[in-house]
Chains A and B, each alone.
Chain A
Amino acid sequence: MPFLIIQRLLSTIPVLLVVAVVVFLMLRVSGDPAAILAGDTATSEQIEAVRVALGLDRPVWEQFLGWIVQVLRGDLGESLFTGLPVTTLIGQRIEPTAMLALTTIVFSVLVAVPLGVLAAWRANTWVDRAVMVFAVLGFSVPVFVLGYFLMYAFSISLRWLPVQGYTSPFVDFGAFLRQIILPTLTLSCIYIALIARITRASVMEVLNEDYIRTARAKGQIERIVLFRHALKNAAVPIVTVIGLGVALLIGGVVVTESVFNIPGLGRLVVDAITRRDYPIIQGLILFFAFIYVMLNLMIDLTYAALDPRIRY
């Protein structure tokens, strides 16, 4: 097991290097930041001056090497616009995104797994069909539609919850909760649908296994047959989907953050892209790549914890 962890941590290095090269080159061929930075009315001399100031006149490989050396020192560079270090910007924006991801995934799992188990247990009855209809709806309603609808219903009409914004739970936990409920509901919908479906499929398969029959032959009650015998055996695909869900969440919160005006990483990405703020884009993509690799490692470790037959 420790061997796996070390091996995986080492394997992040080539992965991140490939990501770095690809991102760096893609951004270089997709437009001229000096022109954007200098403004619409700038003369070609002014643009050239900006280019020299930013070091964009140097050969591409030189720029890349310089950037990599910087990154290895833990410095992701500074924003072209605000001049703030990228690490500082990520640090500022990570909390809202992480909190929203956390509440969303916890809520989704708590709702979706029991729903999926229930649907599997009562497969092909109205209970099962109701859950599956909900799952299809959850997939098909766009996030912004659901977000604005919830906002209209609960904030504007009923006035139960604030319309938008974000407060850190470490500052005011009550305000945090009130503000995070609607974004969490909005974002959870699709994950509940996804996780409930995979839970249903996975548990249904396991319910046909011989050891489920054995458990019943021992006189075990259905609740324990379902949640102790079946669910743990069905867990590997469910955990895979949850893990992928978390990975997608981090990149996928953009719309939700925009709808609810939450100052998170998703907004940072969008702003950086529209302004061609290279250092931020590069830094964020590297950061996401690192998170994805770590998530995959965690998923693999969870497999081993759930199934004694899986050993690395």
Chain B
Amino acid sequence: MTGKPVLSIRNLSVALPEGADRRHAVENVSFDVDPGEIVCVVGESGSGKSVTAFSVMGLLPPGELKPVQGEILLEGENVLTASPQRLRDLRGTRMAMIFQEPATALNPVMTVGQQIDEVLRIHTGLPPAERKAKVIGVLDAMHLPDPAGAYDKYPHQMSGGQRQRVMIAAAMALDPAILIADEPTTALDVTTQAQILTLIKEMQERRGTGVLFITHDFGVVAEIADKVVVMRQGSVVESGPAGAIFENPREDYTRMLISSVPSLDPPAREPAQGPVAVESIGLVKRYGGGGWFAKKGEGFLAVKGVDLSVRRGETLGVVGESGSGKSTVARCIVRLIDPTEGAVRLAGTDIAKLSTRGLRPYRRRIQIVFQDPYRSLNPRRTVGASIIEGPMNFGLPKAEATARARNLMGLVGLKPDALERYPHQFSGGQRQRLAIARALAMEPDVIIADEAVSALDVSVQKQVLELLDRVKREFDLALLFITHDLRVAAQICDRIMVMQRGEVVEAGPTRAMFRAPKHPYTAALLAAAPGRGFGETVAA
């Protein structure tokens, strides 16, 4: 796989606008991508990995980020000095890109066929009939079932994995020399992720395409990379062949990143003995079907009779892919949505059917921490105001609520003056700490963490997981932990419940289940986890 590199980045620096916390988004970055080689650029948020990728495509936001030094050679041609017209000619033909979120990267009001056809219309003079045949051919090569039928579908009529296949089809339609993939599997379920990674590998092997693969996930890197470039705060920390980086990382930062990846091998844990804090019995949630004309049994059954119980001092993980109903279960238990059938017993009372007024005293006892710390805190209120609001609603005087909030800041590892500031002044990890403090301020019995660490970088994720585990023990809480990430679940959960299409397919102690899954779906989930085998050796 040697020869002339298809992509060669030389001393690239990209300037940040005035007033940013550093001068360059990317500084003195150099690496090559050879034909038929997968180069993974890995780093945490703010490392400049995506900026590097967008620089290649010439898609940096104009006016904000500007390449100020170096060159990017695509098959020997410097794209940084190419005219806008020349850049447009190269995009889609010699270089193509796929993105993190296939749901938003496709235009919702155009059919899938039209969107792939667009590439051919821009860059080839083919007549419509030939174009259509070629589009269907490309869709077929992506292993989409019924490619001819897919042509006329809209993106919202497809699954996440199918949409990403469509994106890859559009990118590969004209056989580019290089494919740039910006976190292309981050938004997908593990089993789908495994399929998409296989597909990208297949394209690279069959067509000899060079792949520049941007990711934060070392599991994915272990799965597909030929070469690894580790970035941190805009600079390359180290780079080299994948095997060498994993087995013998030179830099501390790389070692830290690799060791932050939670191991798939759960530690041994004592079963919790505390009293049951919350349980659900035969929980059912049906969406829709409530209209005047709906027949009985219509609508979508999101949760089909789920029984669970969490003891004080225990962490129960609910694991599943998107659409499994895991978040719906969480929301029913907190009564953010009303369960259709079944009971939720909290402190000996069934709260599933309580009126809004009757529910009020129980609200305090069960708190939730959401996935996205950027959107779950009100941006126009100080953090302090958000935290004391709940306790004050339950009659605590302002002075006491504030005193409690100040104590909590210390507990979650922030300074008390954080209370005077606004959410945008904090990083993602800090915001998630604030969200946990907000939940704790209510002095609950139960905390539900709904994908609470999924949006965080691995190093931050590790700290937030440790924090959750610590407060659970300190306050003797019941923790219901909803996640799609098996590695995270392995590290924090005492017991695990695996959900598929609204049903619990397997439940049991974490260690036993990971070592010997009984249900084929559990086994499939474990098998699909990227980079199996690498975590154990490093973390051990």
- In whole angstroms, what is the CA distance A218 to B57 when docked? 10
Within 8 A of A (CB), among B88-135: 88-93, 96-97, 99, 101, 104-110, 115, 118-119, 122-123
Q: Is B59's beta carbon under 8 Å from chain A?
A: yes
A211 touches B156 (CB 8 A): no
Residues A308 and B109 in contact in the complex (CB < 8 Å), given A216-B59, A219-B88: yes
Q: Which of B89, B90, B91, B104 contacts A211 (CB 8 A)?
A: B104
B104 touches A209 (CB 8 A): yes
B109 touches A217 (CB 8 A): no
Q: Is A233's beta carbon under 8 Å from chain B?
A: yes
Q: Which of A215, A218, A221, A309 contacts B108 (CB 8 A)?
A: A309
- In whole angstroms, what is the CA distance A34 to B446 when docked? 74
Q: Is A307's beta carbon under 8 Å from chain B?
A: yes
Q: Is B366's beta carbon under 8 Å from chain A?
A: no
B96 touches A217 (CB 8 A): yes
Residues A216 and B105 in contact in the complex (CB < 8 Å), given A308-B154, A309-B154: no
Q: How far is the CB of B275 from chain A (nearest CB, A)?
A: 47
User: Please, which residue of chain A has its CB at the minimum distance from the CB of B97?
Assistant: A217
Q: Is A159's beta carbon under 8 Å from chain B?
A: no
Q: How large is the interface on A (under 10, 10 to 19, 20 to 34, 35 or more residues)?
A: 10 to 19
B91 touches A309 (CB 8 A): no
Q: Is B480's beta carbon under 8 Å from chain A?
A: no
Q: How far is the CB of B233 from chain A (nearest CB, A)?
A: 24
Q: Is B225's beta carbon under 8 Å from chain A?
A: no
Q: Is A51's beta carbon under 8 Å from chain B?
A: no
Q: Is A229's beta carbon under 8 Å from chain B?
A: yes
Q: Is B170's beta carbon under 8 Å from chain A?
A: yes
A221 touches B88 (CB 8 A): yes
Most buried by B among A209, A216, A221: A216
- Chain B residues with CB under 8 A of A210: 99, 101, 104-105
- Chain B residues with CB under 8 A of A141: none
- In whole angstroms, what is the CA distance A220 to B121 when docked? 10
User: Please, which residue of chain A has its CB at the minimum distance from the CB of B103?
Assistant: A210
- In whole angstroms, what is the CA distance A233 to B154 when docked? 14
- Chain B residues with CB under 8 A of A309: 108, 154, 156
Within 8 A of B (CB), among A174-228: 209-211, 213-221
Q: Which of A211, A216, A306, A307 contacts B106 (CB 8 A)?
A: A211
Q: How far is the CB of B351 from chain A (nearest CB, A)?
A: 35
Q: Which of B108, B122, B170 contacts A233 (CB 8 A)?
A: B108
Q: Is A8's beta carbon under 8 Å from chain B?
A: no
- Chain A residues with CB under 8 A of B105: 210-211, 213-214
A219 touches B123 (CB 8 A): yes
Q: Which of B88, B93, B106, B154 contacts A214 (CB 8 A)?
A: B106
- Chain B residues with CB under 8 A of A232: 109
- In whole angstroms, what is the CA distance A124 to B511 when docked? 57
- Chain A residues with CB under 8 A of B106: 211, 214
A218 touches B59 (CB 8 A): no
Q: How far is the CB of A216 from chain B (nearest CB, A)?
A: 6
- In whole angstroms, what is the CA distance A215 to B99 when docked? 12
- In whole angstroms, what is the CA distance A216 to B156 when docked? 21
A219 touches B90 (CB 8 A): yes
- Chain A residues with CB under 8 A of B109: 232-233, 306-308
**Tally of A-B residue pairs with Cβ under 8 A?**
69
Q: How far is the CB of A204 from chain B (nearest CB, A)?
A: 13
- In whole angstroms, what is the CA distance A167 to B156 when docked? 50
Most buried by B among A210, A215, A221: A210
Residues A233 and B107 in contact in the complex (CB < 8 Å), given A217-B96, A219-B90, A219-B93: yes
Within 8 A of A (CB), among B361-401: none
Q: Is the interface of A mostly helix, strand, loop or mixed?
A: helix
- In whole angstroms, what is the CA distance A213 to B118 when docked? 14
The digit string for A230-242, where 1 denotes a CB below 8 A from any CB of B, is 0011000000000
A214 touches B107 (CB 8 A): yes
The digit string for A295-307, where 1 denotes a CB below 8 A from any CB of B, is 0000000000011
- In whole angstroms, what is the CA distance A232 to B154 when docked? 14
User: Please, which residue of chain B has its CB at the minimum distance from the CB of A216?
Assistant: B59
- Chain A residues with CB under 8 A of B104: 209-211
Residues A218 and B154 in contact in the complex (CB < 8 Å), given A213-B59, A232-B109, A308-B109: no
B107 touches A211 (CB 8 A): yes
Within 8 A of B (CB), among A84-105: none
Q: How far is the CB of B186 from chain A (nearest CB, A)?
A: 13
Within 8 A of A (CB), among B229-243: none
B101 touches A220 (CB 8 A): no
- Chain A residues with CB under 8 A of B110: 229
- Chain A residues with CB under 8 A of B170: 214, 218
- Chain A residues with CB under 8 A of B122: 218-221
Q: Which of A209, A217, A233, A306 contacts B91 (CB 8 A)?
A: A217
B92 touches A218 (CB 8 A): yes
User: Please, which residue of chain B has its CB at the minimum distance from the CB of A125?
Assistant: B63
A217 touches B92 (CB 8 A): yes
Q: Which of B89, B99, B108, B115 contacts A219 (CB 8 A)?
A: B89
A217 touches B108 (CB 8 A): no
- In whole angstroms, what is the CA distance A270 to B452 when docked? 63
- Chain A residues with CB under 8 A of B156: 308-309
- Chain B residues with CB under 8 A of A220: 88, 118, 122
A307 touches B108 (CB 8 A): yes
Q: How far is the CB of B359 from chain A (nearest CB, A)?
A: 34
- Chain B residues with CB under 8 A of A214: 97, 99, 105-107, 115, 167, 170
A215 touches B118 (CB 8 A): yes
- Chain B residues with CB under 8 A of A306: 109
- In whole angstroms, what is the CA distance A215 to B89 when docked? 13
Within 8 A of A (CB), among B432-463: none
- Chain A residues with CB under 8 A of B99: 210, 213-214
A218 touches B119 (CB 8 A): yes
User: Please, which residue of chain B has its CB at the minimum distance from the CB of A308?
Assistant: B154
User: Please, which residue of chain A has its CB at the minimum distance from the CB of B106?
Assistant: A211
The digit string for A61-101, where 1 denotes a CB below 8 A from any CB of B, is 00000000000000000000000000000000000000000
- In whole angstroms, what is the CA distance A215 to B122 when docked? 11
- In whole angstroms, what is the CA distance A233 to B156 when docked? 14
The digit string for B45-62, where 1 denotes a CB below 8 A from any CB of A, is 000000000000101000
- Chain B residues with CB under 8 A of A219: 87-93, 119, 122-123
User: Please, which residue of chain A has its CB at the minimum distance from the CB of B157?
Assistant: A308
Most buried by B among A219, A229, A306: A219
Q: How far is the CB of B229 from chain A (nearest CB, A)?
A: 21
Residues A216 and B91 in contact in the complex (CB < 8 Å), given A210-B99, A210-B101, A308-B156: yes
Residues A218 and B107 in contact in the complex (CB < 8 Å), given A210-B101, A213-B59: no
Q: How far is the CB of B339 from chain A (nearest CB, A)?
A: 28
Q: How far is the CB of A206 from chain B (nearest CB, A)?
A: 10
Q: How far is the CB of B26 from chain A (nearest CB, A)?
A: 18
- In whole angstroms, what is the CA distance A233 to B107 when docked? 8
B107 touches A229 (CB 8 A): yes
- In whole angstroms, what is the CA distance A211 to B163 when docked? 12
- Chain B residues with CB under 8 A of A209: 104
Leading 5 A-B pairs by shortest Cβ distance: A219-B91, A210-B104, A219-B92, A211-B107, A219-B88
| Interface positions of B (Cβ within 8 A of A) | 57, 59, 87-93, 96-97, 99, 101, 104-110, 115, 118-119, 122-123, 154, 156, 167, 170
What are 17 inter-chain pairs, A to B, with CB distance below 8 A?
Answer: A210-B105, A211-B105, A213-B59, A214-B115, A214-B170, A215-B107, A216-B91, A217-B59, A217-B96, A218-B92, A218-B119, A219-B90, A219-B119, A219-B123, A233-B108, A308-B108, A308-B154
Contacts A211-B106, A211-B108 known; list 11 others, CB within 8 Å: A209-B104, A210-B101, A210-B105, A211-B107, A214-B115, A214-B170, A215-B118, A216-B59, A219-B87, A219-B119, A306-B109
